Amino acid sequence: MKKPKRILAIAFAVVLIVTAAGVMTPSPVQAYQLNAVGTAWQTGDAFPTTIQNGGFETYYQISGSWSGTGSSQGATTALTVEDIPGWNTTDPVGDIELWANSFAPAALPGYVQFNSHSGNYYAEINAATPGEVLYQDLSTTPGGLYQWSFYHLGRGTNTNPNSHNIDVAQIYLASQYESGDSIPKGDPQPAFNTDYNGYTNVETVGGTGDTDLTMLQAPSIDRGANAANPTVVTPNDWTYHMGYYSVPEGQTVTSYMLYSYNTASAGMRGASGNLVDDIAWEPIALPATQYIYVGDTPTYSGADMTSFVASGYEAEAPDFSGFPKATPGTYTVNVPIDLDDGTTFVGDVESTIIVLPVLTVTYVDENGAQLTNIVDSSNNAIANPTTTKNSAPASNPSEAYNVTTPSAVITASGVYYHYVGLYNSGGLSSDTLSGNYYATDDTNLDSYGNPVLVNRNVILEYEKQYALNVEYVDPSGNLIGLAASMALFSDGDSYDVTTAVPLPGDIVTVNGKKYTYQELYQEGSPSGSDDPSGTMDSNKTVMMVLIPVANTPTAKTSSSSSSSGGGSSLSPQTGDTFSLGMWVIALIVSSAIVILLAVLWLMRRYRYKAKHAAAKRSA
């Protein structure tokens, strides 16, 4: 019973495999699906990045037929765009004319057997209607440098009575062609330097001898002796055209358009002539994006400013002179691309540098004047202005800025200042202490699609303050200690520290040492003590002269635990002179007495219990 089941399982698996193979292998026509406008390029959801079917070797004969003419030894056919993957035409008939190898059209007054540059097939730019273009749409990177190229063959022969004995084609590269656009669209592209590799196949301008690099020539073919002995076209008879194209900003789709300008067999913009083969489009160098902060000078190399450079080429360092580094934004930078000989320039890549904003914090006085030589309360120097580079790249400009709480008191050039708030006066306007770098919000975008960012400038206003110090000094004016902490006052404030000044002869203790107060130090002299009360119009120092005395107890004393590092108030500290050591000794003695008394009580208690127990046993 198991064997039939196994056979059925194997058969079922075979059917699945065969069915899957049939589904996964499309018919030739299904290999290229049509997009909404009927072009045959599409192999996915995006346009291709390189020319598809550039040699016309792939076709699907849905309509039309191959046919010879007269003494034809090969054949031609006009196929619709659905028949030839990759290609489209503006010809209203919708045909693309393919030629096969060995075709010798009898209609030409000569004997020529035409062959492709490579492979078996090639195409004529116009099939039926003059003045149209053969084209493809390509995905391109804005700012990228690409190379276009194709092989070109004239259809006429040198016995043709047409005096203009060449075919002339042009290539147009522009944003995506759409119905209703001019034909051709954009500007004709010049071939690369005529001096490079001896390239001379371009048209002269009006008989002046000057070359027009956009007029791409294909000389006519010499006629054969007779039909039995035609001239056989070889790959060497085809003319190679090549040039470079920098994709403009925002152009993500580029139409590659071939245009028949003139034909030897049919004249200006004729429908007969300009054969093409092996058409190509390749990226040479692609742009990169780099970042700097406002005020920085970019120093990026050519390699830094490109994301890709094809073999045989090299990127040179951009010229950053005059770069607008002072303003946040997105800026284009031209990156020269050379052949790897280091001297032959072929084109530019348009890369971008995004200048990121910065946060600047400036300290000013009440008049808006910038302060100098600033030190905070911890004696740390503060640069003014202070610039902080904490902004995020424009691709994700979500980072906010934040100014830490400003120091309440600073000194600038030795003068004390007190923080008042943000300064907004006299043409200066401060940003808030915290926020973001958006000019308005994250929907305000520049031409590159990046949010518009701005520098932030926070201006901190500080008001000048005057310091009042009350000090103990020796008879020579040297500091012994502070009677109270330094106090700050605004200009014009009143002060009064008379209560902090002892009477002559009073005993003052400073840092454990006793002193006798004598008088204010050189009161009234420029280097002497200020008055104990008055109006603050400058820094004030009240200086009290002390003389060391013996450590003898007295009923009338003053003490200070202050040091040269500062005190806590403007009132002097007072109290007796009983030392801490004496308190400790007294505590130890008292504790010992208590312990002794407790031991004696416990011993007495023990004896009493022992005596009482002995009496009971005797009874």
Residue 547 pLDDT level (bands cut at 50, 70, 90): very high
Residue 439 pLDDT level (bands cut at 50, 70, 90): confident
Residue 150 pLDDT level (bands cut at 50, 70, 90): very high
Taking Cα atoms as reference points, which of 99, 45, 33, 25 lies closest to residue 67? 99
pLDDT at 158: 54
Lowest mean pLDDT among 86-100, 128-142, 159-173, 526-540: 159-173
Residue 449 pLDDT level (bands cut at 50, 70, 90): confident
* Chain centroid to CA 235: 49
Partnered with residue 243 across adjacent β-strands are 148
pLDDT at 315: 96
Partnered with residue 20 across adjacent β-strands are none
SS (H, E, C) 192-255: CCCCHHHCCCEEECCCCCCEEEEEEEEECECCCCECCECEECCHHHCEEEEEEEECCCCCCEEE
pLDDT at 610: 75
DSSP 167: E
Check: CB of residue 92 under 8 Å from CB of residue 81.
Answer: no
| Model pLDDT for residues 488-504, shown as the tens digit of each residue | 999 999 999 999 899 99
Question: In this model, does residue 571 exceed pLDDT 50?
Answer: no
Q: What percent of the chain has pLDDT over 90?
A: 48
SS3 call for 135? strand
Residue 417 pLDDT level (bands cut at 50, 70, 90): very high
Q: What average pLDDT does the segment 14-25 reach?
A: 34
Q: Rounded distance, CA 378 to CA 439, Å?
A: 36
Q: What is the DSSP string of 579-594?
A: -HHHHHHHHHHHHHHH
Q: Rounded distance, CA 448 to CA 445, Å?
A: 8
Could you identify the residue written with the tokens 């193979």?
21
pLDDT at 78: 74
Angle at 254 between CA 248 and CA 256, to 5 degrees: 125
Instruction: Dig out the tokens for 534 from the structure.
Output: 């008055």
Taking Cα atoms as reference points, which of 267, 275, 311 lies closest to residue 162? 267
Q: CATH: 2.160.10.10, 3.20.20.450, 2.60.120.260, 3.40.50.300. Which one for 28-285?
A: 2.60.120.260
Query: Regarding predicted confidence, which is higher, 533 or 555?
Result: 533
Could you identify the residue written with the tokens 């300290």?
363
Tell me the CB-side half-sphere exposure of residue 200, using CA atoms within 13 A: 3
pLDDT at 267: 52
Question: In this model, does residue 567 exceed pLDDT 80?
Answer: no
Rg of the chain (C-alpha set):
49
Q: What average pLDDT does the segment 112-139 reach?
A: 91
Residue 148 pLDDT level (bands cut at 50, 70, 90): very high
Q: Rounded distance, CA 169 to CA 171, Å?
A: 7
pLDDT at 4: 46
Query: Regarding predicted confidence, which is higher, 107 or 451?
Result: 451
pLDDT at 93: 86
Instruction: Dig out the tokens for 328 from the structure.
Output: 């946040």
Partnered with residue 147 across adjacent β-strands are 244, 282
pLDDT at 434: 93
Q: What average pLDDT does the segment 229-243 reach?
A: 89
User: So where are the chain's domains?
Assistant: 28-285, 288-353, 359-464, 474-560
Write the CA distances from 531 to 469, 524, 536, integer angstroms.
11, 8, 11
DSSP 356: E
Put simply, whether the predicted model's pTM sits higher than 0.75 gets the answer no
Taking Cα atoms as reference points, which of 281, 316, 280, 279 lies closest to residue 301? 316
Residue 234 backbone phi and psi in degrees, to 5: -115, 170
Q: How many CB atoms lie within 10 A of CB 570?
A: 19
Q: What average pLDDT does the segment 402-422 reach?
A: 93
Check: CB of residue 149 under 8 Å from CB of residue 240.
Answer: yes
Cis peptide before 184 (omega within 30 of 0): yes
Check: CB of residue 328 under 8 Å from CB of residue 282.
Answer: no
Q: Rounded distance, CA 327 to CA 293, Å?
A: 9
Check: CB of residue 518 under 8 Å from CB of residue 547.
Answer: yes
Q: Rounded distance, CA 392 to CA 354, Å?
A: 11
| Model pLDDT for residues 325-380, shown as the tens digit of each residue | 999 989 999 999 999 887 889 999 999 999 999 999 999 999 999 999 999 988 99
pLDDT at 105: 73
Q: Rounded distance, CA 279 to CA 87, Å?
A: 11
